[in-house]
Amino acid sequence: MMTIRIRISNATVKQLTQALAKAYKSGDSRMIRRIIVLLDYARGDHPEQIAMRHDVSVASIYNWLKQLMLSGVSSLKPNWKGGRPSKLTKTQKRELVELIKAGPQAAGYPCGCWSGLLVQDLIQQRFGVLYNAHYVCDLLKQLGFSYQKARFVSDHLDEAKRLLWMTQTFPKIKQQAQAVNGWLLFGDEASFAQWGSLSYTWAPVGEQPTVKTTGKRKGYKVFGLIEFFTGRLFYQAVEGRFNSDSYIAFLETVLEQTKKPLFLVQDGASYHTSKRTRQFFQEHASRLHVFQLPSYSPDYNPIEFLWRALKRRTTHNIYFPDFTALIKSVDEALAYFQTQTEYVQSLFSLYLKDMTNTSQEVA
């Protein structure tokens, strides 16, 4: 069966766009939907997809296309209501902000992402105000929103404990470390894979960049600590798996480098809290003070940002024909960041900003 598709010229698309602007000014919602349907068709969308998106029948779409072919864009004349178009009041804008923050599903939509068209529909359905879809984006910016990618957070998060950490626990740890001129250390581990990692890069249009890989699932493992007050970086590579013995060996090397008290902030990895490690902490309790981050809170550990920077510098889009090439790349980057204390300190800026904002919200 042969399928015939009507092609709408660029000149007609331009005229349709102008007609859409007039329809918005008139407040004629039916004409707005009709023109948007025609523009979607001109863009190449399938009629069935358009029909589902705008809650119209496929037959209506073809009837509108037929009238467009016979009578042209001039036939798309909106009905003017007269008077100035209605606008959201300040109270309605505040309510809109809360609705958007709550998410589309809370507002009765089946999806989890806000689009300009969806917000446009929300405003019309909830407040009876019809805005141009392009203006909706400007309005959202004015209200303090931006279009950004979501991120996953664990459903095990204990927000009360996280709030307590930011507003009370961490400030006390910081004060204690300052009072005795100690080191405040945030620790974590990272593994750098020989098969490399992929990232965005500029490349000719139509030519996706490729990176060779051996496919060997072998990683170079590193313990790390960054010091809050100075930006100093401590690290140690390990062979084999991370475990209590290798973690203790790393901490011993740090203890040997100073006689100052150490205030160690760590996550809940098993080798951080094992019986063997806890015994080590007790043996060095006179100088080593250990604190646990809230569960499932890697965003509260600034060294995570350092690991990302290291991987961008060492493994993204890089081919490692053998394991020694990977080791060389990682070791050179670690040595480099040891000299960049100001950069390491800057990793705490967002952390401190979040802490300040959280404290203000509580106050």
Instruction: Judge whether residue 281 has pLDDT over 60.
Output: yes
Residue of 4 and 172 predicted with greater confidence? 172
Q: What is the mean pLDDT of the chain?
A: 85
Confidence bin at 363 (pLDDT 50/70/90): very low
Return the structure tokens found at 285. Answer: 């309790």
Instruction: Judge whether residue 362 has pLDDT over 70.
Output: no
Return the structure tokens found at 265. Answer: 């902030």
Average pLDDT on 186-203 reads 86
Task: State residue 108's pLDDT score.
Answer: 79
Task: State residue 271's pLDDT score.
Answer: 94
Give pLDDT tens digits for 234-252: 999 987 889 999 999 999 9
Instruction: Judge whether residue 5 has pLDDT over 80.
Output: no
Task: State residue 53's pLDDT score.
Answer: 78
Task: State residue 79's pLDDT score.
Answer: 76
Instruction: Judge whether residue 220 has pLDDT over 80.
Output: yes
Global pTM reads 0.59
Task: State residue 335's pLDDT score.
Answer: 94
Task: State residue 153's pLDDT score.
Answer: 58
Average pLDDT on 194-211 reads 80
Confidence bin at 350 (pLDDT 50/70/90): low
Domains of the chain, each with CATH number or no CATH = 10-75 (no CATH), 90-142 (no CATH), 160-362 (3.30.420.10)
Residue of 215 and 237 predicted with greater confidence? 237
Give pLDDT tens digits for 126-162: 888 878 767 888 899 999 988 887 765 555 667 888 8
Average pLDDT on 240-267 reads 94
Contact 238, 223 (CB under 8 A): yes
Top mean-pLDDT range of 43-47, 213-217, 230-234, 298-302: 230-234
Task: State residue 359's pLDDT score.
Answer: 43
Instruction: Judge whether residue 194 has pLDDT over 60.
Output: yes
Beta partners for 289? Answer: 263
